[in-house]
Amino acid sequence: MPLLLKMTWQSMLRKPLRTILVMMTISFAFAIFGLADAIDNAFSGGRDLSQTKRLITNHKVSMTNTMPIHYGDQIAQLDGVTMVTHATWYGGYYQDERNPVTVFAVDAQKYIEIFDELVFADEQKSAFLSNISGAAVGRAMADQQGWQLGDRVQIHSNIWRTKHDTNVWDFEILAIFEGEDTNTETNLFLIHHDGFDETRSYGNYSAGWFSIKVEPSDTKEQLAIAAEIDALFANSESETKTATEQSFLESFSNQYADIGLVLKMVMGTVVATLLIVCASTITQSARERQRDFAVLQTMGFRVPWISTWIALESFFTVLIGAVLGIVMAMLFAGRLKVVFTELIPEVTIGFGDLAFGLMISAGVGLLAAILPMFELSNTPIVKTLSRR
Amino acid sequence: MVYQVITLVANGLKSTLTRLSGVFVAIFCVASVVFLFISVLSMLAGFSKTMSRTGQEDVAVIMRSGALSEVNSVLNVSDLPAMLAHPEIASEGDTKLASGQFYLVVELAKKNGQAVNVPMRGIEHEETALHPDFVLSAGRMFTRGTTEIVVGTAASGQFAGLELGNTVNIQGANWTVVGLFDDGGNVYESEIWADLQTMQAVFQHQDTLQSLRVKLTSPAVFDSYKAAIQGDPRFDLQVERETDYFSSHGSGLITLVQKTVDPLAMLMMVGAIFAALNATYASISTRMTEIATLRALGFTDGAMSLAVLLEAILVSLIGGLIGIGVSYLIVDGFLFSTMNGEAFSQLVFRFNVTPIIVAQGIAMALAIGLLSGLLQHGWRSELRFISRYAKRDSCSCSLPNQGIEQLWPIFWSRMKKDE
């Protein structure tokens, strides 16, 4: 085995320029692959849509329409419903139109209870709950905007207006909450619906959506409850559309779908190119060494041993190139993060996809070793030796 | 020298058949990079084209101040007469050329079944006067006071159930598609248009609407109209030129896409250069003996380098042309829709392979060829090594010397074992 590794190492150094070229090609392919994947993840929400026992009820016409707030009480009466809360999209931005902040006006007490992945310090939580003009800000947003506990911030709304006919509300940050884990979205600004409804000049007594905690964890039973909810409001002035939270988030991010399609195309083409380049280079480099192999064969090395040698060589070349590429992709993704924060939660490199890419290229390395092996085992040594 | 180069290039081309796989790899690499490059660029171009084609210089959009897009704006119907009582607004006979807009997004399905938000706009009869490129490509205009709709051709092509003659149920009403319209390939072609009053009634918002569009007597009077409306103490409104409204509207998405595309394009370019270098290297190393022979025959180093350079450029040019051809066939005109962040609504546009983009693709292919051809110049030392090497006994072996020495003991031990 040590001999095999040493031979692999030396044959990689045999033509260092070629090895470096192949490695660089692979590393760039992996960098592109990783980056496209990261962007694709960002556009498709990037979050792990783990099973929550939550439903979301939107207006049937579209998620931008609002519904009467009393719908919540009616939903709460249904069997299997544990708790109902509501939220309204505020359309917020801070200081500049190009600096949007995600503000939800929520039914705070219940909202925090239902979304228990938002972790509050006890005294901050009670401070926020007891003051309806206060706000609770997620860690990601506080860091991004440079806000501290106790700051007073003015948030503009591009939808609502106050009774004093401005579109600016003043909030005191009374709590900064953390996410339960890194997948939890904390780029969020929560305000009290009550305080908001008192001061807005139109749209009062309406809510943007209802979040409903349900007992069953089985999707089928959850969907049955969703159907019951929609039946409650069928043929009313505001019909509803209820879905599980996961499927809602999925369909929301799917609206960017076509961009994802283009990125998938990029990734596919890159992988195809990668495969062809690797396979051809490895095959060629093995061909050039046919006579070396023949010499080794005369010395008593078996064909499988030689093939392992070739395969190992290509595997290591791919591996080193891939690692380089992933590092590059990570560097670029770090820069992209800044671009995306306003729209999309996270630019993360999907290591699952990268592992898949790595597996494929390693597979190609091995496949490429098969061809020379075939030739070797089917050709008499003397013939290979006399080859030019 | 020139003669030598020509001979060498011709010779190289003749021998391509014998090293088909290497040349194929090089062409494939360049073609795929150019293809990707062009697809991404043409997506951006299609998007900007749609945006830039939208809006007229002499049309003003009036929204509530602070609203970033129409979907967020609210106006009172009772305020409209005061907004229209200005001499800057063009009129036809007794009617002012202005159209109130009831605008919202409705959830429909794409042809692949995905739920998406499609913009729906309630308009007044005068609306078409604000759209010089408006033309019904099929069917007829909707009748006022009915739940008939006309649909932009882009929307009709992209979303399910919006074909001519179909009926869709939105907010409890059945809307029948009676016509399809073109509007010069702009944003409006992604929309559904219906009668303003009907929409207000169906959505139970009789006294509010989203915005007002007015045609001005000339683009020059915009400033005075804007000053008059924004200075009116009764309202808190903002007035924008329609062209400005749309160019600011799409900028968010376009910068986003551009910023993501830039690093990708850079990586692709460098990656392609490496791939092409690979191919050039392979083509040289398989022709070691040939090169040495040619040198022995008296071809100069310079001529050979130049020949390799020309060959590299030629190969990547062919790759580039194939890439362009493929992208022209597959990508050009491809209907594409994505969410426009601010309005949460779908925007449909077409990939657009423009001559400039084609030129950029060719330039990219040339650059790849040139760079990879020039870099091989740096391998001259290796070339010289190759020529020396080729002169040696043909039975030579390319295993590292050190390696062979270390192999002997193993060889002996195996021999003994076999005995």
Distance CA B374, CA B368 (A): 10
Structure token digits, residue A243: 């879905």
Inform me whether the pLDDT recorded for B222 exceeds 90.
yes
Q: Which residues of chain A does B281 touch, with a Cβ-Cβ cutoff of 8 Å?
A: 17-18, 21
Q: Pick B25's closest partner by Cβ from A65, A157, A276.
A: A276
Say whether B267 and A328 touch across the interface (CB within 8 A).
yes
Q: How confident is the model at residue B115 (pLDDT cuts 50, 70, 90)?
A: confident
pLDDT at B177: 96
What confidence category does residue B261 fall into, taking pLDDT thresholds of 50, 70 and 90?
confident
> How many CA within 13 A on the CB side of residue A23?
17
Question: What pLDDT score does B52 carry?
Answer: 79
Question: Among B274, B277, B284, B347, which would you mutate to test the A interface (most chain A Cβ atoms within 10 Å of its Cβ)?
Answer: B274
Q: Is the pLDDT of residue A339 over 90?
A: no
Instruction: Name the residue in chain A with its Cα closest to that of B414.
Output: A300
Residue B394 has pLDDT above 50, yes or no: no
pLDDT by residue (tens digit) across A49-66? 555 788 999 998 888 888
Of the pLDDT bands very low, low, confident and very high (cuts 50, 70, 90), residue B400 is very low
How are beta strands A103-106 and A189-192 bridged, if at all?
parallel
What is the rounded average pLDDT of the residues A315-323? 84
Q: Which of B22, B117, B277 sits opposite A62 (nearest CB)?
A: B117
If you write DSSP's letter for every residue of A38-82 in order, what string do you get?
HHHHHHTT-S-----SEEEEEESS-TTS-EETTHHHHHHTSTTEE
Other beta carbons less than 10 A from residue B115's beta carbon: 19
A121-130 — which CB contacts under 8 Å span 24+ positions? A121/A175, A124/A149, A124/A174, A124/A175, A124/A176, A124/A177, A125/A175, A127/A174, A127/A175, A128/A174, A128/A175, A128/A190
pLDDT over 90 (residue B194): yes
Interchain pair A18, B285: CB under 8 A: yes
Contacts of A388 in chain B (CB under 8 A): 289, 394
**Would you state the pLDDT for residue B343?**
63
* H-helix segments, B130-192: 153-158
Percentage of residues in chain B with pLDDT exceeding 90? 32
Mean pLDDT for all residues in chain A: 82
Confidence at residue B397, expressed as pLDDT on a 0 to 100 scale? 41
Confidence band for B382, pLDDT divided at 50, 70 and 90: low
**d(CA B144, nearest CA chain A) in Å:** 22
pLDDT score recorded for residue B348: 82
What is the rounded average pLDDT for all residues in chain B?
81
pLDDT (tens digit per residue) in A183-202: 677 889 999 999 999 999 88
Contact status, residue A160 vs residue A167, Cβ threshold 8 Å:
yes
* Residues in chain A closer than 8 A to B35 (CB atoms): 269
Assess contact for B358 and A248: CB atoms under 8 A. Answer: no
Quote the percentage of chain B above a pLDDT of 70. Answer: 84
pLDDT in tens, A6-47: 878 887 787 777 788 888 888 888 888 888 877 777 766 545
Q: Of A118 and B274, which is predicted with more confidence?
A: A118
- Residues in A touching B205 (Cβ below 8 Å): none
Q: Beta strands of B39-133 (E only): which ranges?
A: 59-64, 75-76, 91-92, 95-96, 98-109, 115-123
For residue B339, what is the enclosing H or E element?
Answer: strand B335-340
pLDDT value for B378 = 61
Report the pLDDT value the prediction gives residue A125, as an integer from 0 to 100: 94
pLDDT score for B336: 76
pLDDT digits (tens, 9 = 90+) for B329-364: 888 877 777 776 556 678 788 888 889 989 988 998
How would residue A312 be classed by pLDDT, with cut points 50, 70 and 90?
confident
Q: What is the pLDDT of residue B395?
A: 36
Does position A142 have pLDDT exceeding 80, yes or no? yes
Closest partner residue to A336 (CB to CB) among B71, B260, B418 is B260
Q: At how many degrees (to 10) do helices A2-14 and A303-340 cross? A: 70
Q: What is the mean pLDDT of residues B365-369?
A: 86
Question: Does residue A223 register a pLDDT over 80?
Answer: yes
Q: How far is B251 from chain A (nearest CA, A)?
A: 10
Residue A87: pLDDT over 70 = yes
Percentage with pLDDT > 90 across chain A: 30
Most confident of A36-40, A282-286, B97-101, B250-254: B97-101
- pLDDT tens-digit map of B279-325: 777 777 767 677 777 778 877 777 877 887 888 888 889 999 999 99
Local confidence band at A345 (pLDDT 50, 70, 90 cut-offs): very low
Cβ atoms of A147 and A153 closer than 8 Å: yes
Name which of B264, B337, B341 is nearest A36 (Cβ-Cβ).
Answer: B264
Q: What distance in Å separates the CA atoms of residue B391 and residue A169, rounded to the nearest whole number?
A: 85
- The Cα–Cα gap between B382 and B397 comes to 17
